[in-house]
Amino acid sequence: MKGNIVRRSILDGITVTVLGLVLISIVVDPTTEQLMNLKFNSFLFLALMVFGAMLSHLLNSIFGIKTLGQNLFEPDYEKAKAEAKPIYRTFWGWHFIVTLIVLFVVGLSKTQFSIIELLDEDGFEGAKRLFAGIFNPNWGVLPAAVLNIIETIFMAFLATMLAIPFAFILSFMAAKNIMRGPVSFGVYLFIRTFLNVTRSVEALVWAIIFSVWVGIGPFAGMLALMIHSIASLTKQYSEMVETVYEGPIEGVQSCGANKLQTIWFAIVPQVILPYISFTVYRWDINVRMATIIGLVGGGGIGTMLIKYQGQAMWPEVGTIIVVIAAVVWIMDQASAYIREALK
């Protein structure tokens, strides 16, 4: 119950903060220098968060008015007792609608969305020239494109294979149902935090780091994909470990099995097929990502693509796009068939 109240307060605090900051920006129209004032803006953010949380408590607990946070995190038995009303006749409904509209309008403003520029005649003519080149591929670069896409596929394959043993071991250390002791739980929190930080850094950024570290080329791209794959696979693997049936675990433990034996004989047999399915899907993802990281020196077909794109050689770009699309489609189909067979 307390957890629901905390989550409710945080969500309502965030929505009030967003609405408050937008309102202040409209009224004050701050300068760039004021927007860059981190100290003041941090204080303002925290103040609005606290105000939003207090307002949430006041509305829900004192006046009985259900906010968006209360509606989302309210226990099921409370929802069952509540009278069913259309969303437009509830406070939380308008809370949601107003927040969504404000975020949409701010998004339009911040992205400088413009139908006029999209339909501008000069820009449209430029796009026509670009597509005319892309849809008339220069097949003379096809052999080089095939060689580069093969390099891309093997970058993704090796990155996935090297990530598997690390992710396999770490997955059990990142599963809450395995790491239950005081020390074990500390290790669990550390690994989870480290993996979340690692995964939050995109493979593109890792490719830039490794391009400086080991030099531009496929090795840098492979390392970037490997690091990102370890973090992503560990998360997926550990979530599967946390959903295993307790029966086999209790059975082997009743026979005197230690923790390692329990994992090997009771947990691994339950998760091995999902592990393989996740791994195949990860290889599919890595093939797609390998194309992108080539744009920053990660090797493979992406490096070739950025070379011709930079010179506005659109027929050559068209050939490369055809090769990439064909390989991605084949990999997607193969991955889907393999994962279906493993179910």
Q: How many CB atoms lie within 10 A of CB 83?
A: 5
Q: Say what angle helices 2-28 and 91-110 make with each other, to 10 degrees.
A: 50
Q: What is the pLDDT of residue 289?
A: 87
pLDDT bucket at 1, cuts 50 / 70 / 90: low
The DSSP symbol for 343 reads -
| Encoded tokens for 65 | 């008015």
- Mean pLDDT of all residues in 132-153: 88
Long-range CB contact pairs, 205-211, < 8 A, 24+: 206/293, 207/293, 207/296, 207/297, 207/298, 208/296, 208/297, 210/298, 211/296, 211/297, 211/298
Cα–Cα distance between 269 and 288 in angstroms, integer?
A: 31
Architecture of domain 137-341: Orthogonal Bundle (1.10)
- Mean pLDDT of all residues in 9-36: 88
What digits encode the pLDDT tens for the residues 205-255?
888 889 888 888 889 889 999 999 999 999 989 888 888 887 887 788 788
pTM (two decimals): 0.75
Q: Where are the domains of the chain?
A: 2-113, 137-341
What digits encode the pLDDT tens for the residues 152-198?
999 999 999 999 999 999 998 888 888 877 888 888 899 999 999 99
pLDDT top residue among 233 and 120: 233
